[in-house]
Structure 1
Amino acid sequence: MKSLFAAAAVGIHLLGAGVSEAASVLYTTDFPGTATQPSGWTVVAGGTATGTGNGWRIDDNGAYRFQNPDTGVNGLSQYTGALEGGAAYNALTDYTVEAGLRRSAGAVVGLVGRMSSNDTFYHARIFTVNNLSSLQLYKFVGGSPTQLGSTVTLNPAYVADALWKLVLDFNGTTISTYAYDESNTLAGSIVVTDTAIASGAAGVRAQGTGRYENFTISVVPEPSAALLAGLGLLGAAAVRRRN
């Protein structure tokens, strides 16, 4: 599988040839319902909320919300339901997870991927560092966090409660995260190489008050051999598979 953003360069050539390789959506939701838990999701940390209490719930605006005034409490929820094509939710390797999300002032809001256990996963997050809205990428192994790459100051800056898009992408040992503002302008990105976690589930993680308007897991299939041969890219694809 070729990840969504790693496919960009090849995608340009494909479009130039009048052919496009579309992402295959394994799961997507805009969190219908209110005062409930979304179907197929499992709360790992932070608890479930009743009414307007603390924890995870779908709020009155149709967003999957985590809230807790204690910013030392992490909320973590993963998707454990069915995927298109019959893939196992906890066996995904190369894929892209993205969400439209909002965070209140001082809160942390982010995504998790390759979640192989409740305390082992990659985590991309939008956070405030030294009074600057920032993008960070972490790995947690056995609950122990390690920051991957440097903290990136978002430009433009995140404004509290704005609807942004966060993307977390896996392509072999390359782990990438991208943050887009309300105008879909790239505000920050981090790309690293790491071998700690090879596969696992996807989900969301927050502190304070974070809200998720939508959530999608997708993959981009490898172009067919015939298509690559026609574009003169078959050899390059073979090299990539060997790597």
Structure 2
Amino acid sequence: MSKDIEVALVTGGNRGIGYELVKQLALKGLKVILASRDPEMGHKAVQRFKELDLDVSCVVMDVTNQESIRHAAVAINEKYGKLDLLINNAGVYLDKNEKLLAMDPCILEKTMATNFFGIYHVIRSFIPLMEKQGYGRIINLSSEYGAFNEMSYPGVGAYKLSKFALNGLTRLVAAEIRGDIKINAVDPGWVCSDMGGPSAPRTPEQAAEYILWFATIGPEGPNGGFFRDGKRIEW
């Protein structure tokens, strides 16, 4: 792990891929902040990490609540004064395989609120902690469903649109940021988790390996890219 990275924040870090990312980062010696919408679930996850003697703390943050994000950003700034790594892992998959125009509009609205606007507000609130030190790494967990050619096929429309928009956000932010701050979108693949289901072929440990590579990239590393298994894929 790069010596430059000391403080990391993982949203949705109390379970699934997020939990594994927190664990792997803490094992590498980072101070890891686990963001959880549910205080009790966040606290239980931190207790499990403390039993392993890992440096993990919890911040309560609901990515669909701007005030909650702002409070978390203030708390982390007051405690650490910076943020080196932000992993936007929190997300929802609410679709049943319905056509976009036939589904209840609230499914699309809730999906976009978490998977797109939530990440937008998190980045907007935490990137100042990176800008003031001129360094940071941001990893957005996307999906192959967000690729442009997936828009030619019906089904899972709310989730697809949310990840398509997230990919666009990744590129736009990459074009705007200055200094040694990099942002990339990563498709973790089909992972055995609450979201992916028990029949998924990939473990959270396998997914974490490819995601965390982007935490260690140097100044010459990619910025504004879309990757799966460490390889660049088409938008």
Fold shared, TM-score > 0.5 on shorter chain: no
The structure with the larger Rg is 1
TM-score (norm 2): 0.31
Which fold has the larger relative contact order, with Cα–Cα distance below 8 Å and residues 6 or more apart in sequence?
Answer: 1
